[in-house]
Amino acid sequence: MSPIPPELSLLEKFDFERPPVGVRFTLTRPEGVEKLDKIMDLCEMLVEAQEGHAFYVTREEFTCIGPLLLGMVAEEPVFESGRVGPRLGAFRDERANRRVYQYLPRLNRNSVKYVAFSPLDKINFEPDLLIIMATVTQAEVLMRAKAYSSGEMWTAKGTPVAACAWLYIYPLQTGEINFNVTGFGFGMRSRRLFPEGRILLTIPWDRLPGLLQNLKEMDWVPESFTLGSAGHKAKVKRIAEEIKKEIEAKP
């Protein structure tokens, strides 16, 4: 077991149900981790890492459309034709299923040959993504931290199928923090990978420093969360009255 990187140790305070997982995409074989000795879907690899395993995979370890999303293959006609979804009951017809593949995010062809996964306490590389499974209460703190210093809005991107594209590829490409609710993704729900109603939240590497800094500065449980409805409304009223007096006092 490796020590948790100091900059990420703050996340231990959340006491997540499953450990956060770091993911790295690379053209060269990752050092210090072993190759996965089984074949899995891309979404299942997240669970494998949550269970305490650090590993890397190549194209040969996938049993799904993962290689297509990762740019390891040029096409997957069986899936991209739109014929799979209707037979699973995910879509009414081929054209509806086929449309999904027009906007699924994908990496450039041959830009990635290896993907490394590691739970937080075994990570020995700088992750491109940090994927966290959180309760709603835990996710609220993280999303509030996202906007604490910037005031930015948050959004969630996804599709009924191929949820892994929005879990891995979209945040990597855009630098946007993205999230989904467990139980929404067709394949993930069918595989029973996660307890229902958790938030799967992906943080790209370039958003981690600001997020962690905001977590250090802000109150994770603001006083308003402890006052109840009447107490919170009274506090808002008091603050508003104070601000009015400050404005009126200025010449």
Dist. CA 13–CA 20, nearest whole Å: 12
Confidence at residue 250, expressed as pLDDT on a 0 to 100 scale: 75
The pLDDT value recorded for residue 183 is: 94
Q: pLDDT tens digit string along 120-147?
A: 999 999 999 999 999 999 999 999 999 9
133: tokens are 């499974």
Could you identify the residue written with the tokens 């299923």?
97
pLDDT tens sequence for the chain (251 residues): 456 778 899 999 999 999 999 999 999 999 999 999 999 999 999 999 999 999 999 999 998 899 999 999 998 899 999 999 999 999 999 999 999 999 999 999 999 999 999 999 999 999 999 999 999 999 999 999 999 999 999 999 999 999 999 999 999 999 999 999 999 999 999 999 999 999 999 999 999 999 999 999 999 999 999 999 999 999 999 999 999 999 998 77
Beta carbons within 8 Å of 235's beta carbon, 6+ residues apart: 223, 224, 227
The residues, ordered by sequence, that sit 6+ positions from 221 with a Cβ below 8 Å of its Cβ are none
Angle between helices 208-217 and 136-148 (to 10 degrees): 100
φ and ψ at 240, to 5 degrees? -60, -40
Candidates 58, 79, 207; CA nearest to 132 is 207
Burial of residue 66 (number of CB atoms within 10 Å: 0-12, 13-18, 19+): buried
> What's residue 3's pLDDT?
60
Q: Are 23 and 117 in contact (CB under 8 A)?
A: yes
Count Cα neighbours of 199 within 13 Å in the Cβ-side half-sphere: 19
Q: Which residues contact 90 (CB under 8 A, 6 or more apart)?
A: 97, 160, 161, 186
- Residue at 217: amino acid letter: E
Burial degree of 5 (CB within 10 A; 0-12, 13-18, 19+): middle
pTM: 0.94
Report the candidate in 189, 186, 207, 190 with the shortest Cα–Cα distance to residue 198. 189
Domain definitions of the chain by residue range: 6-220, 222-251
Q: Is 226 exposed, middle or buried (0-12, 13-18, 19+ CB in 10 A)?
A: exposed
> By three-state DSSP, how is residue 105 classified?
coil
- The pLDDT of residue 1: 45
